[in-house]
């Protein structure tokens, strides 16, 4: 009988890629997914599953905090792009981990480990709950503070723009602009400054003069010469170019 699995990642593209890999493996039954950690906690509390694929770094609740709030502990495969985050946790026999971008061989290894653990109680390890709590606190304390809004000066007035509404930033003639709803607003940061102040899981620098909000990407096409074209899902379906020297990192980060 297939394990009932649930997928949690704040990046919908990462969920889609993992779903495709799991469906191709035909080894688990995917019963649900969530990109909001609170939604995942509610769903898993009302309907426990056998196996949980869980991102570590997420807004509001990290993966360890999600796990610590579940009344029934499933087998867990953590997914992370950051192997510096206390990988000693994955020595516990009830969990495993996958480094992003996930490849099929990694996934097969983890599913084989999970098969060997079936029938064991994931909460039976005496140190598991304390370890999860400790790692949740550690990760939360290390979480950097990123901008949530950005200011644009219009004459003597300041307009504050929520970053979830910003499709992309671009630099032109020594000025930097934030684009939202098709309008460009001048901001007092360089592209290099913004790269350090924006959440790298949500914003990617795709060109020396452009940063894109990943949530607004509609499709990606390969260009002659190795570059990429990104089309946004805004009203204008704006096209942006990913520089050739950034294409590999871009595809790796998006799992495409």
19-67, pLDDT tens digit by residue? 999 999 999 999 999 989 999 999 999 999 999 999 887 878 888 888 8
Domain stop point among 80, 107, 142: 142
Same domain, 134 and 170: no
Cα 44 from Cα 134, distance rounded (Å): 22
Which pLDDT score is estimated for 256?
A: 67
Host domain of residue 247: 149-254
The answer on 196 and 249 residing in a single domain is yes
Residues 109 and 207 in one domain: no
What pLDDT is attached to residue 131? 59
CATH number for the domain spanning 123: value is: 3.40.50.2300
- Determine the average pLDDT of the residues in 76-95: 60
Higher pLDDT, 74 or 99: 74
Domain count, the chain: 2
What would the mean pLDDT of 104-131 be, rounded to a whole number? 71
134 and 156 belong to one structural domain:
no
Residue 124 and residue 35 share a domain:
yes
pLDDT, one tens digit per residue, over 159-179 is 889 999 999 999 998 899 999
Task: Provide long-range contacts, Cβ within 8 A and 24+ apart, for 47-50.
Answer: 48/72, 48/74, 49/3, 49/4, 49/5, 49/6, 49/74, 50/3, 50/4, 50/5, 50/74, 50/75, 50/118
Q: What is the pLDDT of residue 143?
A: 54
- Listed residue (99, 53, 100) closest to 74, CA to CA: 53
Structure confidence at residue 91 (pLDDT): 46
Q: Are residues 18 and 122 in the same domain?
A: yes
pLDDT tens digit sequence for 190-244: 898 898 789 988 999 999 999 999 999 999 998 887 779 999 999 999 999 998 8
Looking at the fold, whether 132 and 190 belong to one and the same domain comes out as no
Residue 246 maps to which CATH number?
Answer: 2.40.50.1020
- The DSSP code sequence of the chain is -PEEEEEE-S-HHHHHHHHHHHHHHT-EEEEEEESSHHHHHHHHHHS--SEEEEES--SSS-HHHHHHT-SSPPEEEEEES-TTS-GGGGGSTTEEEEESSP-HHHHHHHHHHHHHHTTS-TT-STTHHHHHHHHHHHHHHHPPP--SEEEEEETTEEEEEEGGG--EEEEETTEEEEEETTEEEEES--HHHHHHHS-TTTEEEEETTEEEEGGGEEEEEEPTTS-EEEEE-STT--EEEE-HHHHHHHHHHHT-
**Does residue 91 share a domain with residue 55?**
yes
The segment with the largest mean pLDDT, out of 59-73, 86-100, 101-115, 168-182, is 168-182
- In this prediction, residue 49 carries a pLDDT of 95
pLDDT band at 87 (very low <50, low <70, confident <90, very high): low
Structure tokens at 220: 């990606």
Please report which confidence band the pLDDT of residue 12 belongs to, taking 50, 70 and 90 as the band edges. confident
Q: Quick one: pLDDT at residue 81?
A: 66
* Whole-number pLDDT of residue 234: 94
pLDDT at 57: 78
Statement to judge: residues 134 and 47 lie in one domain: yes
Same domain, 44 and 129: yes
Give me the mean pLDDT over the 3-12 stretch.
Answer: 90
Q: What is the pLDDT of residue 93?
A: 42
């Amino acid at each position: 009988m297939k394990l009932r699995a649930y997928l949690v990642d704040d990046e919908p593209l990462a969920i889609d890629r993992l779903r495709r890999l799991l469906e191709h493996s035909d080894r688990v039954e995917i019963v649900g997914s969530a990109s909001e950690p609170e939604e995942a906690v509610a769903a898993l509390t009302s309907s426990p599953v056998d196996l949980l694929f869980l991102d570590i770094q997420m807004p509001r609740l990290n993966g360890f905090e999600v796990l610590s709030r579940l009344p029934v502990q499933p087998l867990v495969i953590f997914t992370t792009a950051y192997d510096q985050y206390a990988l000693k946790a994955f020595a516990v026999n009830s969990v495993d981990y996958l480094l992003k971008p996930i490849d099929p061989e990694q996934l097969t290894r983890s599913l084989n480990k999970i098969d060997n653990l079936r029938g064991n109680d994931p909460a039976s390890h005496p140190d598991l709950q304390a370890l999860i709590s400790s790692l949740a606190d550690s990760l939360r304390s290390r979480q950097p503070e990123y901008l949530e809004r950005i200011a644009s000066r219009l004459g003597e007035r300041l307009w504050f723009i929520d970053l979830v509404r910003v499709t992309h930033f671009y630099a032109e003639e020594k000025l930097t602009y934030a684009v939202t709803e098709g309008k460009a607003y001048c901001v007092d940061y360089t592209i290099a400054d913004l790269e350090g102040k924006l959440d790298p899981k949500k914003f990617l620098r795709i060109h020396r003069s452009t940063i894109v909000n990943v949530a607004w990407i509609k499709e990606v096409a390969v260009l002659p010469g190795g570059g990429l074209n990104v089309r946004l899902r805004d009203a204008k379906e704006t096209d942006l170019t990913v520089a050739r020297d950034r294409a590999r990192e871009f595809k790796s980060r998006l799992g495409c």
